[in-house]
Structure 1
C-alpha cells in the first residue's frame, strides 16, 4: 500500500502494530516502525490522532527502560521472554484468570475492544513482572514495579490489583499497602474476587490481638459502605466470621 502511495487509516495502522507486538515481539514492532516511518504511515499532526501512535511508541521505550532498570537475573529472564515470544501467552493467561473470576465484561473490554482502547502491551509486561516478584517473595520490588508502571502512565486492571494485593497482604511490612489498594479498587468500581479480599481480611486475623480484630471489623464496614458484598462461603472460610459476625 505504502509503496503505491496509499496511506492506511489510523485504525489499520494501530491494529497492525498491536498485532505485531502481541503475536511477534517488541523488537519486530520497532523494526517495522522504522521501516514504514519514512513512507508516511504516521498520521498528520492536523488529524488530531497522532497521540495514539505516540503512546504506542512510548510503550517500546517503556519496555527498554524496564529492561535497563531490572537487575534481578530471574526477572530479566521473564522480561526477555517478551522479546522472544511476544505477548500472546501472557495476555491469554490474564484474560482467562479474569473470566474465571467472573469478570467477563471487564476481560472483554480489555482484550476484545477497539485498537484505540485495547490494553496497552506494556501493562501485560508490568503485570507479568509484578507477578514474578510476588512469586519470589520480593514484595518490595513488586510494589516498586507497580509504582513505576503508574509513573509510566499505565492504569492497573483487576488482575494486577489481585496479584499485588494478595502478595502484599501476607507481608506485615506491606499489609498497609494491601489495604490501601483494596479500597482503591472499590473506589474505582472494581469488584475484588474472594481470594483478594480474603487475603486482606486474614491479615487482620494473623495479628491475633483485640485491636486488630476491631480494625478488621471497621475495615470491612468501610468496604461494605463502598458497595462491597462478601461471598458468604469465602468469608466464612477466610476467618471473617469470627471477626465481623457477617456469616
Structure 2
C-alpha cells in the first residue's frame, strides 16, 4: 500500500509535468489513490482511462469501488458500478456489492446476492455474513438473520463474539428477550467465553425486560470470571433498578461505581434524573441536578427535558418553566414531548405558544 506522501508526490509530478504514464501505471495509481482515501481523484483517473478506450482490470475496478465504500460515498459507488455492469463479477465484487447494499439499507437485496454467489460456489467470507446479520438485526428480520447464521456455519465460518453480540442486542431491542437469553446461554455451551461487552448487552436486555434477578446473576457471574463492570455496565444496572423504583439499590450501585474510580458523567447523571422524574420525584431529581455543577458535570438537553417533563407530570409548572428558561438561555431545544407537556399544563393560547420560540 502506498504511503500518503508517495501518493501526493505522484499527484504533484503528474500535475506539473503533464507526463502521461502507461495504462498499467495509471491503474496502479488509481489503486493507490483509492487506498489512500482520495476517492474523487481515483474516480477521475479511472474515468479518464475508460475515455481513452482502455478497460481497467477487475482488480482496479474493485479497488475504486472499495475506496468509495470506505469513504462512505455510495452515490459514487453506484455511478461507477453502472459502467461496470458488463465486466466480470468476481468474489471481491460480490463483497463490495453486498456491503454497499447493506450500507444503503437494502439488506434483503444483499442477501439475495449472497445466495446467488453461493450457488456459483463464491463464498464472500466471514465479514459479509456478519454485515448481513447486523443489517437484518437492525430491521428486526430474525428469520433471515437465523438463516444466514446457519448458512455461515455450514460454510465453515464461525460467528465471533461481535456477531453474536449484534444478534443479542438486536433481539433485545425488538423485545425478543427470551430468544436473546437462549442465544447467550448457548454461547457458553458451544465453548465461547462471552466478554464484558456481551455480558453488558445481555444484562441491559434483562434489565429492560424487568428481569433484575437474572441480570444480577449475570453481573456476579461476570465478576467471578474476572471481568470488572465498567461505567456502562453500572449505568445499565442503575437504570434497571430506577425503572423499577428501587432507589436504594440504584443508589448502592451508583456509590459503588464512584468507589471503583469511575467519575460521574452526563449520561450517568441523566440516568438518575430520568429515573427520579419517572417516579414522581422531580424535587429529588432537581437536587441531584444542582449537584452536577459542583462536580463539574455539564447537563445537556436530555437533562433539562427530563426535569421539565418531571415537573409538569407533577403539576409543578412554575418550576418547569424556570428550567425551561434556563434550557433556552443555553441555546438548547426542548423536545416535542417537553413542549407538549408545558402547553398542556399551562393551557396556553396560540400567541403564548409562539412566544416560546419553539
- Whether the TM-score (by the shorter chain) exceeds 0.5 is no
Q: Which has the larger radius of gyration?
A: 2
TM-score, normalising length: structure 2: 0.33
Higher relative contact order (CA 8 A, sep 6+): 1
TM-score, normalising length: structure 1: 0.45
